[in-house]
Structure 1
Amino acid sequence: MRRHVLITGASQGIGRAVAIAFAQRGDQIAVHCGARRDHAEETVALLPGDGHTLLVGDLSDPEEARRIADNAERDLGGVDVLVNNAAVAPSAATTHRVAEVSYPQWQQAWQRMIDVNLLGAANLTYCVARHLIDRGAPGSIVNVGSRGAFSGEPDFPAYGASKAALHAFGQSMAVALAPHRISVTSVAPGFVATERQTDRLAGSSGAELRGQSPFGRVGTPQEVAAAVLFLASPEATWASGTVLDLNGASYLRT
């Protein structure tokens, strides 16, 4: 059966790989991006099949999140699967070490990451879930979290906290939405070789990053996409509430 899938932050990296994976199984995709429309258009062009659509909007704005959900529902004829992948990610521009940033810089980093990584996903989940409930239809929601929620992010504490909160939010929603036949799961990737990490992997830090895993490498967007595809499948409904580690044994939870 062809499903209708909304994927946020799908202009590159993990989001693009997830979009391709769903489209390859015959699903119809709504590709969301926050700003890089040109890259998102490239994602749409890479998708096999037809009927795919592109949505642009800032998820930190609650009204934008509602508009994105409503437009995806309209364009796809109903959203069956939501993948909350969009995030303000760790980078040189978002570093906020306590000893090195001013208080206003600290506040700015926290506000932006919480607004997008947590509240954006929460608002979109609400809107998509309400559409599913109103239609009386089953569905799946998969959140893309992070290993950093467990291992800590000393240079990006707001990022680690936002992802830990996203995991907890997903588990709360798994309980709340199960009576409506909506499953909610999360994945927690470690370091993944996306386009924005090319320089880090090629530079002096590459060996250290690959050495974090006993496999001697980092993860790929396709590996994360494969896990998301499974968790969103009807066969994985009984996994609702889980947080799946995808880090090549680089961090083991107890």
Structure 2
Amino acid sequence: MTRRCALVTGGSRGIGAAIANRLAADGHRVAVHCRADSAAAKTVVDALPGTGHALIAGDLGAPGAAHEVVRSAVGLLGAVDVLVNNAGAYTEQPVATTSFEEWQADWRRLVDVNLLGPADLIWQFVDHLRHRVQGPQGARIVNVGSRGAYRGEPDAPAYGATKAALHSLTQSLAVSLGPLGVAVTAVAPGFVRTDLTEPMLVGPVADEVRRQSPLGRIALPQDVAATVAWLSSADAEWCSGTVVDVNGASHLR
């Protein structure tokens, strides 16, 4: 049986690394993408279960990067069946205290990375599916959005807005790609403990974050990865168009 192949963007750490690991454990060959930290991404690739994995680098906020990333993934893996758009950027930019120059720069960078990057990757991925021998049937796209798209991000409005747009893109493409047999879904995580967020979890802050969920704990990257892995499977086809909340009931809608 031919192993399925997956491209995971932003896979050098945190949630992306956990997704890559879970997909590899489920039998996928995985292309782990990073923006610039190839050493960290190589560490992830080397630790993945199974064989045949690959490393790809590229700044998805740059024009033309999506074409090179997908082309490289196809070249190294032979094909791509699952695209996980996990790469993203987060910037705090309170409107009352951010200069106009910083405001403009932040918005443009976050739109480029959080929305246009995934959109370009999806176009390139679908183009690959349409021209490969086995066709697009059974392929999966999973976008990593955010709880902030629904509850708002007062200090990071560009982040919240771009994640909301990614959720909308997910639902639009679920309809347009359904006839090709491609299921498109998203996950909306809440606060997740990663190496990037760990410095924030000191003293009372950790207790406050823990209290957000009635389950009484802080999410781990593996919590998100488990959901992404299931959405990437054949069993999840009928969830196409769904944005799955992965926030431990910390925000209900």
TM-score class, shorter-chain normalisation, is: over 0.9
2:252 corresponding residue in structure 1: 252
Specify the alignment match of 1:156 in structure 2.
Answer: 156
Residue 78 of structure 1 aligns with which residue? 79
- Mind listing any 5+ residue stretches in structure 2 that lack a counterpart? none
Determine the structure 2 residue equivalent to 1:137.
136
Q: In the alignment, what sits opposite 1:171?
A: 171
Letter paired with 1:131: H
Secondary structure of 1:150's match? helix
Paired residues in the alignment total 249
After superposition, the C-alpha distances for 1:51-77 in whole angstroms (9 at most, x for unaligned) are 111000000123111110111111111
Report if the CA contact (8 A) 2:126-2:136 is conserved.
Answer: no
The separation in 2 between residues aligned to 1:151 and 1:228, in whole angstroms, is 22
**In the aligned structure 2, how far is the partner of 1:48 from the partner of 1:54?**
15
Q: Distance in 1 between matches of 2:92 and 2:224?
A: 25
Q: TM-score under structure 2 normalisation?
A: 0.96
Task: Write the distance in 1 (CA, Å) between the matches of 2:202 and 2:42.
Answer: 27
Q: Runs of 5+ in structure 1 lacking a partner?
A: none
Question: Which residue of the partner structure matches residue 196 of structure 1?
Answer: 196
Question: Distance in 1 between the 2:225 and 2:15 partners?
Answer: 7
Task: Determine the C-alpha separation between the residues in 1 that align with 2:43 and 2:230.
Answer: 25
Structure 2 distance, partners of 1:162, 1:210, is 26
Amino acid at match of 1:96: Q
Task: Give SS of 1:164's match.
Answer: helix
Q: Which residue is 2:183 aligned to?
A: 183
Residue among 101, 118, 130 paired with 1:104: 101
Write the deviation string for residues 46-102 of structure 1: whole angstroms up to 9, x where unpaired. 10111111000000123111110111111111100000000002xxxx211011011
Q: CA deviation at 1:10?
A: 0.3
- Give every structure 1 segment of 4 or more consecutive aligned residues whose post-TM-superposition deviation is greater than 2 Å: none
Whether 2:125 is the aligned partner of 1:113: answer no
Helix, strand or coil at the partner of 1:117: helix
Q: Aligned with 2:201: secondary structure?
A: helix
Structure 1 SS opposite 2:197: helix
Q: Any idea what the Cα deviations from partners look like across 1:159-195, whole Å, max 9, x if unmatched?
A: 0000000000011110111111111000000001111
Q: 2: distance between equivalents of 1:164 and 1:213?
A: 22
Within 1, Cα distance between the matches of 2:46 and 2:9?
16
Aligned equivalents of 2:171, 2:52: Cα separation in 1: 32
Output the amino acid matched with 2:149. A
